Chain A
Amino acid sequence: MSNELLNEVTVFVLAIFVGIEVISKVPTILHTPLMSGTNAIHGIILVGAIFIAAGASSSVTIALGLVAVMLATTNVVGGFVVTDRMLEMFKGRQQSSKTPQTK
Chain B
Amino acid sequence: MNTLITLAYLVAAALFILGLKQLSSPKSARNGNFTAAAGMVIALVATIPQLHFTKAGITIIAIGVVIGSVVGTVGARLVKMTAIPQMVALFNGVGGGAAALVAVAELLKFGAHPAFTVAFPSVFSIVIGSVSFAGSMVAFAKLQELMTGTPITYPRQQLVNGLLAAAIVGFVIAVLAIASVPFSFLSLMILALVLGVAFVLPIGGADMPVVISLLNAFTGLAVAATGFTLNNFALIVAGTLVGASGSLLTKMMSDAMGRSLTNILFGAFGQVHAGAAAAAGKEGRSVRSASAEDLGTLLAYSRRVIVVPGYGLAVAQAQHAVRELADVLEKRGVEVLYAIHPVAGRMPGHMNVLLAEANVPYEQLKEMDEINDEFKNADVVLIVGANDVVNPAARSSPGSPIYGMPILNADQAKNIVFMKRSMRPGFAGIDNELMYDPKTIMFFGDAKDSLTKLVQAVKAA
Contact = CB atoms under 8 A, between A and B. Distances in A.
Interface string A9-40: 00110011111101111111111111111111
Nearest to A36: B88
B33 A47 contact: no
A37 B39 CA distance: 13
Given A49-B101, A57-B56, A72 B68 contact: yes
A86 B84 contact: yes
25 contacts: A11-B236, A20-B244, A20-B247, A23-B23, A28-B349, A33-B33, A39-B219, A43-B95, A48-B227, A49-B64, A56-B57, A57-B57, A67-B97, A73-B67, A75-B94, A77-B72, A77-B76, A78-B87, A78-B90, A79-B95, A81-B72, A82-B76, A89-B353, A90-B26, A90-B30
Interface stretch (B12-20, B395-403, B439-447): B12-20
Contacts of B151: none
Contact of B348 (A11, A12, A28, A94): A28
A54 B94 contact: no
B363 to A, nearest CB: 5
Interface in B219-245: 219-220, 222-224, 226-228, 230-245
A84 B252 contact: no
A89 B81 contact: yes
Contacts of B87: 78, 82
B352 interface: yes
Interface in B18-35: 19-21, 23-27, 29-30, 32-34
Contacts, number: 388
Q: For the side of the interface on A, what is the size category?
A: 35 or more
B95 A45 contact: yes
Interface of A: 2, 4-5, 8, 11-12, 15-20, 22-57, 60-62, 64-94, 96-97, 100
Given A78-B72, A87-B33, A45 B226 contact: yes
B81 A90 contact: no
Nearest to A29: B349
B117 interface: yes
A83 B118 CA distance: 34
A30 B402 CA distance: 23
Contacts of B39: 41
B43 A44 contact: yes
A26 B249 contact: yes
A31 B61 contact: no
Closest A-B pairs by Cβ, 10 of them: A73-B68, A19-B244, A69-B64, A77-B72, A78-B72, A15-B240, A81-B76, A97-B362, A31-B348, A75-B95
Nearest to A64: B105
Nearest to B348: A31
A35 B353 contact: no
Nearest to B71: A74
A101 B181 CA distance: 66
